[in-house]
Amino acid sequence: MTRPPGTGGSVPADEDAMSGEAARRALAEACPGIRVADVRRLDAGYTSRQWVADTDEGPLLVKTPVRDTDPEHLRRLVATTRRAAEGGVPVVRFRAFVPRSAAFAAPLLVQEYQHGTPANDAWEAMDVARRLRFAGELGELVGRVHSCAGPWFGDVLGAEKYPDVRTFLHALVDSQLVRAPADITSVGRDGLSRAIHRAIDAVPPDGTPSLTHGDLWRQNMILRDGRIACLLDFEHGRYADPFLDFGKLDEHIFDEFPEGRAVFLKAYHEVCPLPDDWESRVRLGHAVHALSMSVYFLRWTPKWAPRYVRELDEWLTTGGRSGGSH
């Protein structure tokens, strides 16, 4: 099945050239005294513009957002990434952060550039054995991420705090439903709301907040020598129910490669033991993911929204009304 591409648009050549000069100025602003030999546009990411700069400190990535330009968004990215590093997850290191760069009139982040190949680019050439090894490595790393306990549910910086997993999930779902059209599913928005909230009420309330990544697809996994060397882009990370991460994992990796799911789960379980109710929690995670993607694509790229709406209807038909099976 074809997966939705990123929703960022291409940049005209003349604008790209001008932006390259702006990136050079922004880097000088963020890192005074740094010497820059070359700056080139990096065709990666869908919510930001990025450049690689060859400098006397080594290659650096220059990044500025094009949608969410609130500097707190990048502060959360930095904080979440550093929390993952504390758990032994291979991540990037940051060089500088500017809340509002004069060159871009937007926030700016400078970080080390990770050499390697995005797993998405290498995937087609990987045989089954290499994909299985990848699944095991990924299970271990995601288990490490989810083993990083938080002091509350919600924003890593504490801007939003929820006392328990149910309260957090109810608020998360409501924040998406309020932006959804009234006829989003066959039972409407209200019917969907009742079904998802019933499923949330079945989640044990005493769960521990786990660090989540929020965007686990192959493009955010860098390979070197065939191994996962780095997890990128924790910008959607927070302290949450860990099974929210499984929606994107299953969609972008294991729907296409189901043979790897058992390998992933075994490696994950050895690091972060799965509770008895993990399967129903994953099904709920799928529904929340489908709702979030429906709302997102209805806003930015409507042609990709129907597949997620269909997933919501399937979830409802196969058990959403009785508590969240999928």
d(CA 173, CA 177): 6
- Name the residue among 139, 166, 308 with its Cα closest to residue 240: 166
pLDDT digits (tens, 9 = 90+) for 46-105: 678 999 999 999 999 999 998 889 999 999 999 999 999 999 999 999 999 999 999 999
- DSSP E strand boundaries for 34-152: 36-42, 48-55, 58-65, 94-101, 106-112, 117-118
d(CA 228, CA 223): 5
Of 87, 112, 137, the last residue of a domain is 112
Q: Are residues 147 and 99 in the same domain?
A: no
Within a domain: residue 57?
Answer: yes
pLDDT digits (tens, 9 = 90+) for 264-285: 999 999 999 999 999 999 999 9
Q: Are residues 215 and 293 in the same domain?
A: yes
Within a domain: residue 307?
Answer: yes
| Burial annotation 236-260 (CB, 10 A radius, 16+ → b, else e) | bbbbbbbbbbbbbbbbbbbeebeeb
Q: Are residues 78 and 102 in the same domain?
A: yes
Q: Are residues 66 and 168 in the same domain?
A: no
Within a domain: residue 5?
Answer: no
Q: Are residues 124 and 106 in the same domain?
A: no
Domain with 18, as residue range(s), is 13-112
d(CA 169, CA 197): 8
Q: Are residues 108 and 125 in the same domain?
A: no
Give pLDDT, residue 322.
38
Within a domain: residue 8?
Answer: no
Give pLDDT, residue 13.
40
Within a domain: residue 180?
Answer: yes
Whether the Cβ atoms of residue 117 and residue 227 lie closer than 8 Å to each other: no
Within a domain: residue 222?
Answer: yes
d(CA 29, CA 100): 11
Q: Are residues 157 and 269 in the same domain?
A: yes
Q: Are residues 198 and 309 in the same domain?
A: yes
Beta carbons within 8 Å of 121's beta carbon, 6+ residues apart: none
Of 112, 142, 170, the last residue of a domain is 112
Number of folded domains that form the chain? 2
| pLDDT block averages, 10 residues each, the chain of length 326 | 50 52 94 95 80 96 90 95 98 97 95 95 97 98 98 96 97 98 96 96 94 96 96 95 97 96 98 96 97 94 96 88 38
CATH number for the domain harbouring residue 241: 3.90.1200.10
Give pLDDT, residue 300.
87
Give pLDDT, residue 43.
78
d(CA 147, CA 135): 18
CATH number for the domain harbouring residue 67: 3.30.200.20
Of 93, 112, 131, the last residue of a domain is 112
Q: Are residues 242 and 102 in the same domain?
A: no
Q: Are residues 182 and 133 in the same domain?
A: yes
Q: Are residues 294 and 161 in the same domain?
A: yes
d(CA 84, CA 273): 18
d(CA 210, CA 143): 10
Within a domain: residue 1?
Answer: no
Within a domain: residue 295?
Answer: yes
Q: Are residues 132 and 100 in the same domain?
A: no
Give pLDDT, residue 47.
79
